Amino acid sequence: LGKCLLSPIVLAAYAYNRSLSELGPGGRGEGEPGVLCQLFAFLMAFFGLAPTLLLLAMALECWLSLGHPYFYRRHLTRRLGAALGPAAAGLCALFCALPLLGFGAPMQYCPGTWCFIRMAGGGPRQLGFPVLYASLMGLLVLAIVACNVSSMRHLYGMARRQPRRGPAPAAAPRMEELDHLVLLALMTVLFTVCSLPLIIRAYLGAFAADFNENADLSALRFLSVNSIVDPWVFIIFRTSVFRSFVRRVCRRL
């Protein structure tokens, strides 16, 4: 949804050879973002935070189902799972709308085809939001990593308890747990590497006054790469050829 909403705006800016503030109404001054730029900044912030919150819900669900199955069976229902998506989206939308209300400031970045929250060069009122945004992202990343590491520990313990030798039905559960273990490890490392640059840039811009648009753009590219690569990692890993390759490596190790 984020790619479908944001990509046409960028393509239109390139097609008309104009900045986002020039395309939309409201950009009176050179440094003042227009309505389209403000909308773009809101969508960028929202689609950076909302998937992270949903990933935390998925990591918590995986950890509870493996480590606390009785609590999971009793308290987690389908109705609760269906309500988590809209609730997470609503909370993220309210939080990311704060710059539109004056806490934080949208800013157009070079070359004028993308906008995001100002991360450097402003006052406390402008820089308070990116620090809060980065802190929330950092807490979510830590919680997701902690849940996934705990889930991997449970999966490894389950695989160790399975018989190493025996007929195919006895060995199948152990290899299935190892498949989930490797997939979870890959996605955890990928998510952490892609999320940290934006968090670091927000703190550097607020406390070290490091205004570097190229570094900010690289950090947002890293954040966008996560949502592009994650589905491909999952799809490729589910193929039988790749899974058989991973199983051979696990047997050698």
| Amino acid 59: pLDDT | 84
Question: CA-CA distance, 209 to 193, in Å (whole number)?
Answer: 23
Which residues sit opposite 117 in a β-bridge? 106
| Amino acid 149: pLDDT | 84
| Amino acid 86: pLDDT | 87
Range 210-218, long-range pairs (CB < 8 A, 24+ positions): 210/120, 211/120, 211/121, 212/120, 213/109, 213/110, 214/110, 216/109, 216/116, 216/119, 217/109, 217/110, 217/114
Reported as a single tens digit per residue, the pLDDT across 222-233 is 877 877 787 787
Question: CA-CA distance, 146 to 150, in Å (whole number)?
Answer: 6
Q: Which of 29-43, 124-138, 169-183, 227-241 has the lowest mean pLDDT?
A: 169-183
Question: CA-CA distance, 170 to 243, in Å (whole number)?
Answer: 18
Higher pLDDT, 234 or 217: 217
Omega prior to 111 cis, within 30 of 0: yes
Q: Which of 35-39, 75-79, 157-161, 173-177 has the lowest mean pLDDT?
A: 173-177
pTM over 0.85: no
Enter the tokens of residue 123.
Answer: 């006052």
Reported as a single tens digit per residue, the pLDDT across 196-223 is 888 888 887 777 766 777 777 888 888 7
| Amino acid 84: pLDDT | 83
Q: Say whether pLDDT at 58 is over 60.
A: yes
Reported as a single tens digit per residue, the pLDDT across 91-106 is 888 888 888 777 777 7
Q: Could you give all domains of the chain from N- to C-terminal order, each with its CATH number?
A: 45-161+173-251 (1.20.1070.10)
Reported as a single tens digit per residue, the pLDDT across 125-139 is 667 778 888 888 888
Q: H-helix or E-strand containing 179?
A: helix 168-207
Q: Say whether pLDDT at 177 is over 70.
A: no
Helix (H, G, I), strand (E, B) or coil at 116: strand
| Amino acid 176: pLDDT | 63
CA dihedral sign, ordered 50, 150, 194, 117: positive
Other beta carbons within 10 Å of 91: 13
Confidence band, pLDDT 50/70/90 cuts, at residue 195: confident
Q: Say whether pLDDT at 244 is over 60.
A: yes
